[in-house]
Structure 1
Amino acid sequence: MSRAYAEVIGDPIVQSKSPAIHGFWLGKLGIDADYRATHVTAEGLADFIAARRTDPDWRGCNVTMPHKQAVIPLIDRLDPVAARIGAVNTIVPEQGELVGYNTDAPGFLEPLQPLLGDKHYFRMARILGTGGAARAIIAALAGEGMVIVLAGRNPDKARALLDELDPKGEHHVAPLAHFADATDFVFDDREGCLDLVVNASALGMTGQPPLPFDISHAPPGSVFYDIVTSPLDTDFLKAARAAGFRTVDGLSMLIGQADHAFRRFFGANPPRGETDAELRKVLGA
């Protein structure tokens, strides 16, 4: 007997926590469906999409690196948010069409919503990294009225990203190395302001070089946010906490984006709130 399923695709894929997240929610809700991880190479991407189009049990897939932009020509329609970001991380069959969504943007914003709901005189985000994940983060924060300082190894790439994603914004670029050394810059009064420092790169991840960021570059009251999930408590977050800053870890974004995808795949709201702590324990096992 056939069974409904969704999946996550990427290359590599063994590191994905998505099957554990969706499987946890399916179990909690008693939904008779599966969520799998499927290794799909760049060469096999078009054949994969073509095969899934005709599978009546397929409810869609999450898309991880390196396919978030490569899938766009292979599907039929883009949600406006995905079109603006220029990247897709969720594909859903809808009325005979494959529709591309980007749930990274709302997923990233989810743990910040209590702060974003307040009024501020000024909002600034220092975003470190110009890779695939940065696209959704830049678009999400620009949409929340943040002035962005985008730091990358290549400032020209950073400027091109800002011009593409928010051409009317008054944003700034900086070389990543600028933040590596201590500064004696005296920040102005930040009362009533919202400052974020976001690691949108893979730096600090297991097997990657550390993220070069000196804590003196963070204005008082900043919130530090790291999208890395392995390790979950990065050196970047540890240093921020030790200096008295608030922190948000990578699982917050991962669970937030999965929430939006789950609803589209399975037509149900995942159990959140108190069960998030239980889910975090499962993911940490």
Structure 2
Amino acid sequence: MTRPYAEVIGDPIAQSKSPTIHNFWLGKLGIDAEYRAFLVEKQMEALEAYFPLASTDGDWVGCNVTMPHKQAVMPLLDRIDPLAQSIGAVNTVVREGLKLVGYNTDAAGFLEPLSADLAQTHYFRMARILGTGGAARAIITALAGHGFTLVVAGRDPAKARALLDELAPKGEHHAIDLAHFADPTDFPFDDREACCDLVINASSLGMQGQPPLAFDWSHAPPGSIAYDIVTAPLDTAFLQGARAIGHRTIDGLSMLIGQAAVAFERFFGQPAPRDHDAELREILTR
């Protein structure tokens, strides 16, 4: 007996939390389907071989796409959603009839825990985005669309500038060397009460097995929100440093669960049962 399934593809893939999230929701809704993880190696040939095989399986409904394939997958699809096209990366592929359609749910997932903040009116909005990888592309696009002035910091400032020129050509945005934020500053921030300030680690720095993220919190205005997309560890040194001086923090599970919920509905045709988020978080942090 067969049943519908979706899966996440990437290299490496064993560490992915996506199967736990999607199978938890499938169980809660009583949907007879499955979500798996499937290793598709880094080489382009492996990615090119995957879709002809997957799309001929009548039970395959689509896949999530993680590193390093989010950009490489785009030429292999029949159609790309306009948001994914503007971001320049696809993290969700859905079979729609005979077509493979690419979406990006990272932007929506990133914005979800900020929805109450974005519903407010601010005198000024600024986001310091640390990192220039695939996740940063979605974050830059999402925040530029909500009126933020962006400061993108990377180990290669030229890459940061190129991202801004491509994804947020309107507005006075800034590219800077990531090392700038490592040392303390005595910059006198003004009254930020009517402002929205974000500091986002959009890189893998601080993740288990990766170098630490060197960020001195003197670079963040009072009342900033610290947001780290890293999920292992969940409570990173970056978030701990922010919390120690009174900043609000958002961890990586917020974006992970949010983007998964958008993909889940596309795969399985029902909204994810988000009233069970607390239980899901407990499972994911065991």
TM-score range, shorter chain: over 0.9
The RMSD of aligned alpha carbons is 0.6
What is aligned with 2:278?
A: 277
Moved more, 239-248 or 163-172: 163-172
What is aligned with 2:191?
A: 189
Report the residue type matching 1:144 in the other structure.
H
Counterparts of residues 82-231 of structure 1 (less than 5 Å):
82-231=84-233
Report the residue type matching 2:20 in the other structure.
A
State the distance in 1 between where 2:55 and 2:212 align: 41
Deviation at 1:55, TM superposition (A): 1.5
1:40-95 CA distance string (max 9 Å, x none): 01231111111112211111000000000010011111001000000000000112
Deviation at 1:208, TM superposition (A): 0.8
Taking structure 1 as the reference length, the TM-score comes to 0.99
Report the residue type matching 2:109 in the other structure.
G
- Extract unaligned runs of 5+ from structure 1: none
State the distance in 2 between where 1:39 and 1:182 align: 42
State the distance in 2 between where 1:281 and 1:188 align: 39
- Extract unaligned runs of 5+ from structure 2: none
Residue 92 of structure 1 aligns to a residue whose secondary structure is strand
What is aligned with 1:260?
A: 262
Find runs of 4+ consecutive structure 1 residues off by over 6 angstroms. Answer: none
Counterparts of residues 29-68 of structure 1 (less than 5 Å):
29-41=29-41, 42=43, 43-68=45-70
State the distance in 1 between where 2:31 and 2:78 align: 28
1:229-278 CA distance string (max 9 Å, x none): 000000000010011000000000000000000000000011113x1110
Deviation at 1:284, TM superposition (A): 1.1
What is aligned with 2:9?
A: 9
State the distance in 2 between where 1:67 and 1:270 align: 25
Residue 274 of structure 2 aligns to a residue whose secondary structure is coil
Residue 44 of structure 1 aligns to a residue whose secondary structure is helix
Instruction: Give the percent of matched residue pairs that are identical in Structure 1 and Structure 2.
Output: 71
Deviation at 1:169, TM superposition (A): 2.2
Residue 58 of structure 2 aligns to a residue whose secondary structure is coil
Report the residue type matching 1:167 in the other structure.
P
Counterparts of residues 71-86 of structure 1 (less than 5 Å):
71-86=73-88
Deviation at 1:174, TM superposition (A): 1.0
Residue 156 of structure 1 aligns to a residue whose secondary structure is helix
Report the residue type matching 1:75 in the other structure.
L
Deviation at 1:132, TM superposition (A): 1.2
Report the residue type matching 1:199 in the other structure.
N
